[in-house]
Structure formats: C-alpha cells, structure tokens
Structure 1
C-alpha cells in the first residue's frame, strides 16, 4: 500500500489511552504519521478491554477522547463479508473485522499498527505493512 492513512487496531488504541510499555514510542511514531483510521468496532472493543482491566473513570473518558480523534470506518455488510473470507481460518472474528476494515480503506492505506501477533501475521499475509512501535520486534 502506498497511501497516507495508518489503521490503528484496538491493541494500539489502548496504548494511547493508558500507559503501557510501548505507549511513548507509539505516540512519537504516530506524530510522524498523521492520518489515523480504525474500525467502528474499536469504540466498543477498547472500552471493553479497559473495563476488563479495571480502568478508572478518567481512563474511560480518555478512551472516548482518543477514539473521537480517530476516523472510524463503519462495519458494514461488505466488511463483514470480507472478514468471513480472510485467511487464515484461525483468525479470530474481531481481528478479521479489523483486517477487513483496514483493507476496505484501499489505496489510501499506508499500513496497520497492531500489537496483536495473530492480526499482524494475517495483515502481512494480506500484504499490508505492519508496525508495532516500541515492541521488541517492531
């Protein structure tokens, strides 16, 4: 892909909301790569992850602010159909929706930021550029 937009999955967005080991590197990397998109799915998935982790009300408010600053691609029928056909078959459903959503951005997509190894492998298989700023291998 040769576009300008960077797709952020939920694992990346969580790092923008609460301090994790990769958060500082991710913030710095994103400052050099403006133009961020995600799936509308992330609005639910990020909040669920934070609540599971016992996030404070302040962290949940921060999540809302972060999510509102990222363009959200709707999860429509085309995305759902595409997600059902993605390889490998073992790719989890929500990850398949993220990948199908990223692919739906088309030529405008530069690549995907994810810290999820299974999603990263599937994205590479789909010929997407994958980044994980601050991760040992990223």
Structure 2
C-alpha cells in the first residue's frame, strides 16, 4: 500500500540522485517515512536532464526513482492554475509544480523543495513547504 503523497519538486529529487549538501538528510527522511514521493510529470524531463548534465552514470538510478514515484499529469486545470499562480517571478516549471501540488493538496502530507521562491509561493498557497537540511 502506498503512503500519503510527499510532493517533491526537481530541486529535491536531484538531491536523491546527486550527492549534495542536503542529500543525506532528505534521503533519510524519505526512507524513514511512509510517504510516497509525488511530483508533476514534468519532473521526469527535469530530473533526467539534470542528471545527464551532471552525472550521466546515474541515469538508471534517476529513472528507477521516477518509476517508483507518483507522477501527476499536467491537466487543463493545472495548466490554467499555473498561468495565474504566484508572483510573476515564479518560473514556468515551478508554477506547474505549485499548481500540481495545489491540485492534490487534500491528500498531500508535505512539500519539499530547495527553491526559496517556490517554497514561499507554496506557503502562500497554504501548503506546508520545507527544505530538509542536515
């Protein structure tokens, strides 16, 4: 049985594949929780391109992570919400991530990102967002 969803944007997913400062604390949190990693389907492209750019040898690991996640399709409602959400300074992919999290907010157990602008926007939308650090 899958646990409740934990929304992770690509900045968080990268840390589960590429060793960065916060990687260990995030990996520990995810492995010790009963939460199901969840993201927008756009995370598949974002994560694979980021890993390909930085550490190509870990592409299979990135794909395995994605295969174990819930990837939410970009519906018409999500597209419309993303166009109008948050400050204009919020990038397009971040707006899609935020709109997706809002779409599934009723079931969401948390939102993890390492992008301060996205975290602030998520909090402004009533989503408990955080960055997990060592």
* Structure 1 and Structure 2 fold alike (TM over 0.5): yes
TM-fit CA distance, 1:132 = 1.2
Question: Where does structure 1 lack aligned partners over 5 or more consecutive residues?
Answer: none
Superposition RMSD in Å: 1.5
- 1:85 and 1:111 map into 2 onto residues whose CA distance is 22
1:1-138 correspondence runs (5 A): 4-33=4-33, 34-53=35-54, 55-56=55-56, 58-134=57-133
TM-fit CA distance, 1:18 = 1.5
Number of corresponding residues: 131
TM-score, normalised by the number of residues in structure 2:
0.91
TM-fit CA distance, 1:32 = 3.4
CA contact (8 A) 2:105 2:127 kept: no
TM-score, normalised by the number of residues in structure 1:
0.88
3-state SS of the aligned residue for 2:109? strand
Question: Where does structure 2 lack aligned partners over 5 or more consecutive residues?
Answer: none
- 1:102 and 1:6 map into 2 onto residues whose CA distance is 9
Q: Which has the higher contact order (CA 8 A, sep 6+)?
A: 1
